[in-house]
Structures are given as C-alpha cells and as structure tokens.
C-alpha cells in the first residue's frame, strides 16, 4: 500500500518546517509528500527545498505560476498523488507520531470505508495547548451526534452542518472520481466528506492525531467553523445551488432522501423551526426516510434549541459591548 500526503502551502514560512518534520517522524513512514505552493511571497519554497536536501524528504514540490486559491490548489495536490491512501495536510499543524499508523490501521480494519476524519488537539500559534476543548468539542461532535454517525446517518449530520476538518482527513484514491473536480461553492474537505457520506463510506476516529494550530494568518480554519451548527451556512449565498448540484448527481432513491435533507436544512433556519419540524414529524416524513426516526428528530430539536441559545448569547454579548461603548 502506497501512502501519499497532499499539502498546500501559501506564505507558510513560519510553520512549514515543524509540519514537515512531524510527518517525517511518523511511526509508519509516508511514501511521498506532494506539495503545491500557491505563489508564496515569503521563503516557504526555499525552506521546503532546503529540508528536502537536508533530510532527503520524499517531497514532490510544484510551484504554481498563478494563484489558484486553496480549493483548486488542494484539488491539484490530490490529483498529483500516486498513493492508495492520501492524507490531507495543512502547512501549519503538527502531526502526532502515530497519526499515519492509526489511520492505516483504521482503513485495514474497515475496508468498506473510503474516507476518515479524526479529532485534534487545539494549540495556539506557538504550538502550545491553550484550549480546554478538543476539535470535536468545538464542532459539536458529541456522543449524540457520533451515535447517529454510527447508525449510518452521516449524510444527515453533514448536510445540516459539515463537521469535517480537512487537516485531519485521509481518503482512499478510489474516492477521487466521486469528488473531483471540487466545488467552488464550499471548502474542499466538505465536498470530499459529502461525496463519501453519499456512498455511506465515511468514518471517524475520536482520538486526537494532530495539533491543530490556531493563528491569525490562517486561510481557513476553526474560525470558519466555530459558530454553532448551521450558522456559517447562513453566510453562504450559493448553498442552494450546491444542494441542487448534489441532488442531480444521484439516483432517484437518493434524490428523494436528499430532498428531505435539503428541506430539513432550510427548515432548521426558519424562526419557527421547532413548529415546522414537529409538523414534518407528525406527518410521517421522518419515518419515511429514517429507521431510527426519534434519534434524528430529537437531534433536530436539540439543534433548534442550541441555535436559539447561541443567538441569545450573541445578543447578550452585543448588548454588553454596546453599553461599554456608550
């Protein structure tokens, strides 16, 4: 089994050395590291080239002639990989020594899975743990949500709010035809996760396998996902187009299920969401699409209340801030 890393870089001179060294120091070695640099204006490329010479790293470096943006840059990095398993990597994190070994062990034990994401420890710019929560905690991947994943409802969970973080992910090369080309509407990790969820071939590892660095110069990161489930989608004007595109790509049976997920997605964003989902439950819609009807329904109810609580907290914070300004 050949193992690849798909990494994108852009002005990452401050952290790229530590990231590459953490990959080099894995208990199970990587066969190739494909790096696509998106026209960095600092010394990122020079640092990578020096590390290749110094440590004989198995890096294949490609420097773009024009800026692709992170989505398309990840797309080309993935397509340039030759491995059977491809690990996605940001330029600024730190892999824990057993990450590769643990994920490959998962794939070997779960031959039906094509994609896996993991938990992560949150660290500050200096790489020091400074948060009292893990990545799963922040993204709302609690016991109830993971139980629904285990029951085969990954598609439902991810469609309402995608909790997958690309820096923790790995995929089989066999998944690539189902997710490439990547969408320009949502992030690369969300699109790949959804493609595997459609096929019911997605899994997770609750163990923290990387140190997920939080700093002010991230292109993407926790700052985009830290809002409560559903919040960030409200700022994505093209999300309806994305859902329509997903529906068109699937067979008729999948389309019916997707249309209901689509309906749930928007229902949970209305002011009277609780009344609407109760109405859908009473009318038998949940029962039609889910064997564990009550589990999905109560997850939606909880989501509504948490969203309401989140908005109240935001209003309270805004009120306090306004009083201080007066």
How much of the chain, in percent, has pLDDT values that exceed 70? 79
Return the pLDDT at 126: 85
Return the pLDDT at 41: 94
**For the segment 210-240, what is each residue's pLDDT rounded down to a tens digit?**
999 987 655 445 544 444 344 444 433 444 4
Q: Could you tell me the residue ranges of all domains in the chain?
A: 3-235, 264-325
Return the pLDDT at 312: 72
Nearest to 87 by CA among 141, 44, 28, 159: 28
Bridge pairing between strands 129-134 and 115-123? antiparallel
Beta carbons of 81 and 53 less than 8 angstroms apart: no
Tokens linked to 21: 């060294």
CA distance 283 to 285: 6
Counting as low any pLDDT under 50, the low residues of the chain are 219-220, 223-241, 318-326
For 241, residues 6+ apart whose C-beta sits below 8 A from its C-beta are: 185
Return the pLDDT at 90: 95
Give the helix ranges, DSSP H, for the chain.
Answer: 16-24, 44-55, 70-80, 99-109, 135-138, 143-150, 154-160, 176-179, 188-198, 222-225, 239-248, 252-267, 273-282, 285-289, 293-325
Return the pLDDT at 255: 66
Return the pLDDT at 238: 45
**What CATH topology corresponds to 3-235?**
Spore Coat Polysaccharide Biosynthesis Protein SpsA; Chain A (3.90.550)
């Amino acid at each position: 089994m050949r193992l690849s890393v798909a990494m994108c870089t852009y002005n990452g001179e401050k952290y790229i050395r530590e990231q590459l060294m953490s990959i080099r120091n894995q208990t199970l070695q990587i066969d190739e590291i494909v790096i696509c640099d998106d026209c960095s204006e600092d010394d990122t490329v020079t640092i990578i080239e020096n590390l290749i010479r110094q440590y004989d790293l198995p890096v294949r470096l490609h420097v773009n002639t024009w800026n692709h943006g992170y989505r398309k840059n990840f797309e080309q990095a993935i397509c340039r990989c030759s491995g059977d398993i491809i690990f996605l990597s940001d330029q600024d994190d730190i892999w824990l020594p057993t990450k590769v070994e643990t994920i490959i062990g998962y794939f070997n034990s779960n031959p039906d899975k094509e994609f896996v994401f993991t938990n992560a420890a949150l660290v500050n710019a200096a790489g020091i743990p400074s948060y009292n929560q893990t990545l799963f905690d922040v993204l709302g991947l609690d016991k109830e949500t993971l139980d629904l994943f285990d029951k085969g409802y990954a598609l439902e969970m991810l469609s309402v709010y995608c909790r997958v973080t690309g820096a923790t992910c790995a995929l089989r090369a066999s998944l690539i035809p189902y997710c490439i080309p990547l969408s320009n509407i949502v992030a690369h990790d969300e699109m790949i996760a959804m493609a595997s969820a459609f096929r019911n071939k997605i899994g997770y590892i609750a163990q923290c396998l990387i140190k997920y660095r939080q700093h002010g110069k991230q292109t993407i990161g926790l700052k985009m996902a830290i809002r409560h489930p559903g919040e960030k989608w409200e700022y994505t004007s093209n999300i309806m187009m994305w859902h329509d595109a997903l529906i068109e790509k699937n067979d008729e049976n999948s389309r019916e299920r997707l249309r209901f997920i689509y309906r749930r997605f928007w229902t949970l964003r209305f002011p009277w969401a609780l009344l609407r989902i109760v109405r859908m439950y009473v009318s038998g819609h949940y029962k039609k699409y889910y064997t564990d009807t009550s589990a999905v329904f109560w997850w939606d109810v909880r989501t509504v209340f948490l969203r309401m609580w989140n908005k109240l907290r935001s209003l309270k914070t805004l009120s306090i801030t306004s009083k201080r300004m007066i």
